[in-house]
Amino acid sequence: MKRMTHNAKALFFVTLIVSLMMGLHLESVLAQEEHGHESPHGGQVRTLGDYHVEFVVEEDGEIEIYLSDKNSNPLSVKNVQGFINLKIGSSYKKIELKPNGDATYLEAEIDLHEISAFEAGVRLTIDGKKYSNVVFKYSAHEVMPHEQLKGIFPKAHEFASKHATLSAHQIEEIEAGLKGYDSANAKIGVKEKEIHLYLALGEGDKPVGAAFMLDLMGSDKEKIRGLVGVDSAGKVIRVVLMEHHEEGHDEGEASDEKHDTADDEMEHAAFLKQFIGKTAKSDLMIGKGIEAGEDAKTSAAVATGVKKALLVWNEVKDHLLDDEHGEMEHHDEGDEKSKDHHDEH
C-alpha cells in the first residue's frame, strides 16, 4: 500500500448517518459500536457489517477506500464494486469506484479546486451483498496549521492527524469538569464529540504531546479559533489564537477583522501565558485561576476552551499514545504509522 502523507485536506469531521439515495435494497447497514479501531492510512473509519471501511482523500483529489475485516486485517478489493454519492451543497454527484493496480484499495478522483466541501455516501457490493449508509465528510478548509504547530512543538519533526469519538460517559465527565465555566462554550455539541487533534512526534517518532483546535464563541457572536498545545503529561505548553471574527460576515468583511497569529500573540501574550503549565485539575475560571484580558467575554471563552482541551486530552491520551507506540513497534520496516480512531456512534 502506498503511504499517505499527513494531509491537512484529509481532515474530516463525522456526520450523522443519512441515506443519500433511495430505492436500493440493503442487505446490511452500518453497525454502531463504541470500541476503538485503527485508521492505518489517516482517514476516517466506519464499521460496515463485518468489515471496516477507511475513507482517505489525497492532496491531488484522489479518493481511496480501504477495506479490512473485523480484526482490522487488510482485504483485497479485486472483486469489490461500489460508488460514491457526493453531496455537494444541495446537489448530488455519483462517482464509480475502481480497484487500484494491486487491488489494495478502491479509487476515484475529484477536482478539489472546484469542490471545497462535501459529504460522501459510500455504497459497496462485497461478495454479492450490498452495503450502504456509510457516510464521510470532507472540508478543504481544515488545513493543518504547520507553522503554528511547529511554534508549539519546535522539536517535533512530524505531526499526525488523529480522530476520536467521545463516548456518552466521557462527555458527561468533561461537562462535569466544565461546570461553572462559560456556558456558551462549556457543552460538548454533536460535532464536538468527534475529536480532531494533531499528535506531535519527536525523536524516535515518540509522541511528545498534542494540539487541539479551538472553535469558540466570544462576545457579539464573535468566532474564536486557536490551538492548545498539551504535553504527554497533560500540561499546557502554549495557547495560540489564530483568528476571530463576527459570525454572519461575508469573507471580505471577515478578513478585515481577522487577526493573524503574530498579532494575536502580541495582543494577548500576557493573558495566554497564564495557561502555561496548567493541567486538567487547574482552576481556569476567570477571576480565580486566570485573570481576564482586555475582553472579558473572549477571555472566558478561551479559558473554557483550554479547560475543555485538557479534559478531553485526559480522556483520550492513554489510548492514542499507547496505540501510537504499538504501531511503531509493529511497523519497523518503514510502514506508515497508524492513525487511531475511536468508532463513531
Closest-CA residue to 308 (of 169, 225, 213)? 213
Residue 313 lies in a domain: yes
SS3 content of the chain, % helix, strand, coil (to 5): 25, 35, 40
Residue 336, pLDDT score? 36
Residues 273, 331, single domain; the answer is yes
312/5: higher pLDDT: 312
pLDDT in tens, 125-141: 998 999 987 888 876 54
- Write the CB contacts of 113 (distance below 8 Å, at least 6 apart in sequence): none
Phi and psi based region of residue 234 (left: phi greater than 0; alpha: psi -120 to 50; beta: remaining): left
Which of 96, 118, 139 marks a domain boundary?
139
What is the reported pTM?
0.54
Distance (Å, rounded) from C-alpha 201 to C-alpha 227?
Answer: 17
Residues 156, 222, single domain; the answer is yes
Residues 88, 190, single domain; the answer is no
Residues 165, 223, single domain; the answer is yes
CA atoms within a 13 Å half-sphere pointing along the CA-CB vector of 202: 12
Question: Of the given ranges (251-260, 262-271, 274-283), which has the lowest mean pLDDT?
Answer: 251-260
Residues 158, 114, single domain; the answer is no
Residue 84 lies in a domain: yes
Give the pLDDT band of residue 322 (cuts 50, 70, 90).
Answer: low
In what side-by-side order are the strands of the sheet with 222-231? 36-39, 339-342, 158-165, 194-201, 207-217, 222-231, 236-246
Residues 102, 249, single domain; the answer is no
Residue 38 lies in a domain: yes
Residue 3 lies in a domain: no
**Torsion angle of the four alpha carbons 40, 205, 273, 179, in this order, in degrees rounded to the nearest 10:** 40
Which of 118, 139, 160 marks a domain boundary?
139
**Phi/psi at 324 (nearest 5 deg)?**
-65, -45
DSSP structure class, residue 147:
H
Which of 115, 139, 163 marks a domain boundary?
139
Q: What is the largest CA-CA distance in the chain?
A: 63
Residues 220, 298, single domain; the answer is yes
Q: The CATH number of the domain where 128 resides is what?
A: 2.60.40
Would strands 81-88 and 62-69 be described as parallel, antiparallel, or unpaired?
A: unpaired
Region 100-123: what's the mean pLDDT? 87
Residues 305, 337, single domain; the answer is yes
Residues 170, 200, single domain; the answer is yes
Residue-range definition of the domain harbouring residue 325: 146-342
Give the pLDDT band of residue 278 (cuts 50, 70, 90).
Answer: very high
Give the pLDDT band of residue 39 (cuts 50, 70, 90).
Answer: low
Distance (Å, rounded) from C-alpha 114 to C-alpha 79?
Answer: 32
Question: What is the average pLDDT value for the chain, to the nearest integer?
Answer: 75
Residue 2 lies in a domain: no
What is 68-123 written as a DSSP string? EETT--B---TT-EEEEEEEETTEEEEEEEEE-TTSSSEEEE--TTT-SEEEEEEE
Residue 89 lies in a domain: yes
Region 178-197: what's the mean pLDDT? 86
Residue 1 lies in a domain: no
Q: What percent of the chain has pLDDT over 90?
A: 37
Total domains, the chain = 2
Residues 157, 205, single domain; the answer is yes
Residue 19 lies in a domain: yes
Residues 92, 151, single domain; the answer is no
Query: Does the structure show a pLDDT above 60 at 191?
Result: yes
pLDDT in tens, 149-171: 889 999 988 888 777 788 899 99
Residues 19, 166, single domain; the answer is no
Give the pLDDT band of residue 335 (cuts 50, 70, 90).
Answer: very low
